[in-house]
């Protein structure tokens, strides 16, 4: 049997010699490049904390409180933010207490006493001025075709709803003439609905349509809540107390009956910005008609499964003495 001879361990063949030479050459090259050695993970400091992983920011969205599909389809509730020219008033008042989807308790706004910002003697003169006026404006005429009202001294003020029509059809949740505590004047205003002409309220359930302490959306023509409370209007500075402590509709009622005052220009300007020919609420509502493809007024919710075009915007416009009529839709679609 042949014996196998092993080379001594100190003896290397040509391959091993070449390999060692390459290793030395590579080490010399790395040393010349000044590359820092990589620290293994095991040698990192034990007390170093890993960076937290980036997380996508999630914005909390409020859960809608309304369950009606018709109301939920409306993206937002309109307000009357029309850059008032009267300086805002700082008020201390808690928000109204909501009792359910369509009713809001407004009596809570009367409970808290606030320090009036008008001297008592001035308040008495202001109160006297509310009923001391005499009609000087001519009664409005009404266009037979468009149903617009025409006021000779204010030709750019053309509502197509009279105050009496607004009250009878349903507006402001039936609570416009409820007992009202003015935070600025420091008084309780009540029973001023009695200055309205008797024919405006004849046969009308005053307790439900005018003086209800609770805002009831079912009273409104379009059966939806919209807008803000008179207390919020006062806080925003939209109330001219020396003229109309309840705001725009009270001004409109007195203007319609012939009163003229130095607040007329401002109030007509507010109306034009909201529901005038280029008013934003009117324009937005007509845009909804175009998007829904509705071309005739009676097609708007006439049937159970018909498209109902923004009841909230309709009610908002109604509060400003305007409603969409067929001629408005004819002009809208003629321009498409």
The pLDDT of residue 16 = 75
pTM exceeds cut of 0.75 = no
The pLDDT of residue 36 = 58
Q: What is the mean pLDDT of residues 169-196?
A: 95
Most confident of 101-110, 155-164, 178-187: 155-164
21 occurs within a structural domain: no
The pLDDT of residue 201 = 96
pLDDT tens digits along 272-315: 999 999 999 999 999 999 999 999 987 665 555 566 899 999 99
pLDDT tens digits along 13-25: 677 777 788 888 8
Q: Which domain holds residue 239?
A: 91-271
Q: Hey, what's the torsion of the CAs at 282, 288, 293, 297, to 10 degrees? A: -40
Q: How many domains does the chain have?
A: 1
pLDDT tens digits along 209-236: 999 999 999 999 999 999 888 899 898 8
Is pLDDT at 79 greater than 70 in this prediction?
Answer: no
State how far the Cα of 92 lies from the Cα of 221, in Å rounded to an integer. Answer: 32
The pLDDT of residue 40 = 53
The pLDDT of residue 111 = 37
293 occurs within a structural domain: no
251 or 78, higher pLDDT? 251
pLDDT tens digits along 145-160: 999 999 999 999 999 9
State how far the Cα of 138 lies from the Cα of 16, in Å rounded to an integer. Answer: 119
pLDDT band of 199, cuts 50, 70, 90: very high
Q: Average pLDDT, whole number, for the chain?
A: 78
pLDDT > 90 in the chain, percent:
55
255 occurs within a structural domain: yes
77 occurs within a structural domain: no
Q: What is the mean pLDDT of residues 136-140?
A: 96
322 occurs within a structural domain: no
46 occurs within a structural domain: no
243 occurs within a structural domain: yes
Q: What is the mean pLDDT of residues 53-63?
A: 36
Is pLDDT at 188 greater than 50 in this prediction?
Answer: yes
106 occurs within a structural domain: yes
pLDDT > 70 in the chain, percent:
66
């Amino acid at each position: 049997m042949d014996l196998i001879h092993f080379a001594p361990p100190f003896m290397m063949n040509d391959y091993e010699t070449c390999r060692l030479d390459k290793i030395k050459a590579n080490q010399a090259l790395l040393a010349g490049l000044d590359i820092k050695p990589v620290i293994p993970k095991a040698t990192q400091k034990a007390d170093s904390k890993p960076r937290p992983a980036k997380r996508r920011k999630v914005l909390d969205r409020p859960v809608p409180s309304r369950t009606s599909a018709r109301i939920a389809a409306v993206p937002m509730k309109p307000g009357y933010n029309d850059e008032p020219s009267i300086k805002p008033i700082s008020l201390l008042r808690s928000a109204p207490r909501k009792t359910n989807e369509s009713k809001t308790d407004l009596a809570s706004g009367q409970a808290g006493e606030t320090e009036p910002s008008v001297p008592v003697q001035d308040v008495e003169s202001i109160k006297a001025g509310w009923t001391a006026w005499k009609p000087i404006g001519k009664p409005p005429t009404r266009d037979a075709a468009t149903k617009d009202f025409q006021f000779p001294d204010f030709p750019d003020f053309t509502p197509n709803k009279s105050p009496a029509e607004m009250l009878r059809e349903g507006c402001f949740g039936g609570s416009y003439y409820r007992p009202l505590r003015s935070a600025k004047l420091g008084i309780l205003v009540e029973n001023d609905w009695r200055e309205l002409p008797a024919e405006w309220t004849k046969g009308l359930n005053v307790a439900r349509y005018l003086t209800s302490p609770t805002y009831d959306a079912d009273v409104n023509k379009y059966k939806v809540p919209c807008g803000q409370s008179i207390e919020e209007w006062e806080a925003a500075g939209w109330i001219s107390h020396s003229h109309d402590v309840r705001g725009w509709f009270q001004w409109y009622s007195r203007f319609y009956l012939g009163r003229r005052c130095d607040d007329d220009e401002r109030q007509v300007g507010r109306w034009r910005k909201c529901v005038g020919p280029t008013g934003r609420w009117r324009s937005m509502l007509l845009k909804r008609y175009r998007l829904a493809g509705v071309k005739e007024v009676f097609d708007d919710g006439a049937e159970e499964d018909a498209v109902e075009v923004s009841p909230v915007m309709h009610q908002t416009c109604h509060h400003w003495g305007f409603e969409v009529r067929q001629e408005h839709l004819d002009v809208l679609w003629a321009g498409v």
